[in-house]
Amino acid sequence: MNLDDTIVAIATPPGRGGIGVVRLAGPAANSIAETMLRKTTNLEPNRAQLCDLIDPPFDDALETGTPPRIDEVVVTYFAHPHSYTTDDIIEISAHGSPVVLRHIVELSLARGARLAQPGEFTMRAFLNGRLDLTQAEAVRDLIDAQTLFQAKVAAQQLQGALSHRLQPIKKNLVDLVALLEAGIDFAEDDISIAPDTLIRNRIAQVQAPLQQLAASFTYGKIVHQGLTLAIVGRPNVGKSSLFNRLVERERAIVTAQPGTTRDLVTETVAIGGIPIQLIDTAGIRQVPDEAEAETIGIRKSIEALADADLVLVVIDSTQPLSQEDSKLLQQTQSRPTIVVENKSDLLSKPEPTPTHLETDALVYPSRTQPGRLPTPEPNSPPHIPTSALTGEGIPALRAAILAHVAGDSTTTRESGFLTSVRHHQLVTTALAALQAATAAVSARVPHEMLLLDLYASLRPLDEITGVTTTDDILNLIFSTFCIGK
């Protein structure tokens, strides 16, 4: 990739809109823009200026009059090095007509610019030292954010939150490498070899915060990718009503007839800023063989239950716990689960007046007597009483879902947690190398061999933030130990 080229691209999404932006970056950006603009004064850095976009002839000698105006545009000039890529950048904001925007690009190409490759502006920002790798990746995350919370997390990463968290960890590791290198290379200058206890302690100082960072990926992955939540239960317990209440609109069909839902219904909502894909499933029960459509729906429900990150098992709190309920609770014992005791509004209603039949037995004509659900076991999943009809208990249910997402509440208060699978794999690789280094110290392996493990731990961290060169370590050696003084 030639960083001396001037590149051009449309910076706004495809289609028509009120405004479209074309971005030029490179040493010739200003001179190229000058040929297609009619303005009253020269462009000034960090100033937006109203100009006419014109269609100039390619040969000034052929000019027979004033070039026609194509559009009225706003031009912003960002001078080197105070720009996104550190190059000279010209941004032309025109009306969002695809024809006009393409024409600006064509004029730029005809005057020496090159069409930018996907992501090349951010690539230049990284290669020119404007951003490190974590910040460059955060640009993509910010663009892809589906919720405001995701955008805030990406903005923190763009400001260098992860890099700042890794800096002291890398510094401690480089310090240890420098200590061992100095003991090996400059032993004749009376630099003592570090004892094993000191080395183990220094490794632990790197290992502990790195383990905390690796643990943050459980929460960070959900923040970045979202969560899949399956709503399961036997027919007519209010799954679709609960689904609609969480979605906050009538998304699924709800009727008094059991088994209305025969297929999966999905919708993505934001709960506490976390994108959550809700899946409303068919009621799970034993059905006759001839009920093929319902059998297929139940099979899909079981598959959704197996694939979900979190399962809501909905039971009818006005009915005794049925065999189907118990079987479903057993199936989800090994899965992250929340038990939703639905129809809690019926429990608060006055008891219906009993009637005497010929057997002189008391019968409740409107519903089964409530209050027969067993008391939850101490280690059982959380049980949340709700009413999908009235909304009672829904805030508590949302809070329980967020509590599952957050896990260790300290993670949600930290900045610079891991959201990328790539970053997590690299941190895990670094930890494995540190574990090998600890074992090498215990085995009294020579420091030359121990350094191989420490360098193996440093390299993955370099791949996250940027490379630590040999010069960094040499400079630290000479500045710390004053070799040759």
**Which band of pLDDT confidence, cut at 50, 70 and 90, is reported for residue 286?**
low
Give a yes or no: residue 151 inside a domain. no
Same domain, 235 and 288: yes
Q: What mean pLDDT value characterizes the chain? A: 82
The count of structural domains within the chain is 3
> Euclidean distance between the first and final Cα of the chain, in Å?
44
- Spatial distance between the Cα atoms of 423 and 381, rounded to a whole number of angstroms: 32
Indicate whether 294 pLDDT > 70.
Answer: no
Poorest-confidence range of 152-161, 209-218, 259-268, 335-344? 259-268
Position 367 pLDDT exceeds 70: no
Domain annotation covers residue 236: yes
Report the CATH number that the domain containing residue 50 is assigned in CATH. 3.30.1360.120
Give residue 252's pLDDT. 55
Same domain for 209 and 232, yes or no, is no
Distances (CA, A) of 342 to 242, 290, 393, 404: 8, 30, 9, 20
Minimum mean pLDDT range among 251-255, 400-404, 414-418: 251-255
DSSP 370: S
Q: Classify residue 139: in a domain, yes or no.
A: no
Of the residues 377, 406, 435, which one is the last residue of a structural domain? Answer: 406
Q: Which of 62-66, 250-254, 290-294, 363-367 has the lowest mean pLDDT?
A: 363-367
Q: Which of 375, 406, 437 is the C-terminal boundary of a domain?
A: 406
267 and 350 together in one domain: yes
Q: CA neighbours within 13 Å on the CB side: how many for 427?
A: 26
pLDDT tens digit sequence for 111-156: 999 998 888 888 888 888 888 888 888 888 888 888 888 899 989 9
Q: What is the pLDDT of residues 255-274, one digit of tens each?
A: 555 555 556 888 888 888 88
As a whole number, mean pLDDT of residues 307-330 equals 87
How far, in Å, CA of 127 to CA of 277, rounded?
37
| 340 and 360 share one domain | yes
Q: What is the pLDDT of residue 65?
A: 65
- Asked if residue 238 and residue 96 are part of one domain, the reply reads no
355 has which bridge partners? 363
Q: Which residue has the tokens 């600006």?
A: 104
Q: Which two tokens stand for residue 400?
A: 């329980």
pTM for this entry: 0.75
Q: Is residue 304 located within the same domain as residue 388?
A: yes
Considering the chain, what percentage of its residues have pLDDT values greater than 70? 79
Rounded distance between C-alpha atoms, residue 313 and residue 93, angstroms: 52
CATH number at residue 446: 1.20.120.430
Query: Quick one: average pLDDT of 444-463?
Result: 91
Which CATH number does the domain housing residue 267 bear? Answer: 3.40.50.300
**When comparing pLDDT for 404 and 362, which is higher?**
404
23 in any annotated domain: yes
pLDDT value, residue 20:
94
Is residue 54 domain-resident? Answer: yes
**Under 8 Å between Cβ of 22 and 8:** yes
Q: Is residue 353 part of a domain?
A: yes
Q: 237 Cβ partners below 8 Å, 6+ apart?
A: 283, 314, 315, 316, 342, 343
Domain span holding position 326: 226-406
* Contacts of 156-164 spanning 24+ positions with Cβ under 8 A: 156/415, 156/416, 157/416, 157/419, 159/135, 160/132, 160/134, 160/135, 161/415, 161/416, 162/134, 162/416, 162/417, 162/418, 162/423, 162/464, 162/465, 163/132, 163/134, 163/135, 163/416, 163/465, 164/416
- What's phi and psi for 46, nearest 5 deg? 60, 30
Domain assignment of residue 144, yes or no: no
End residue of a domain, out of 61, 95, 130: 130
Together in a domain, 477 and 435: yes
- Is 254 within a domain? yes
**Do 101 and 14 sit in the same domain of this protein?**
yes
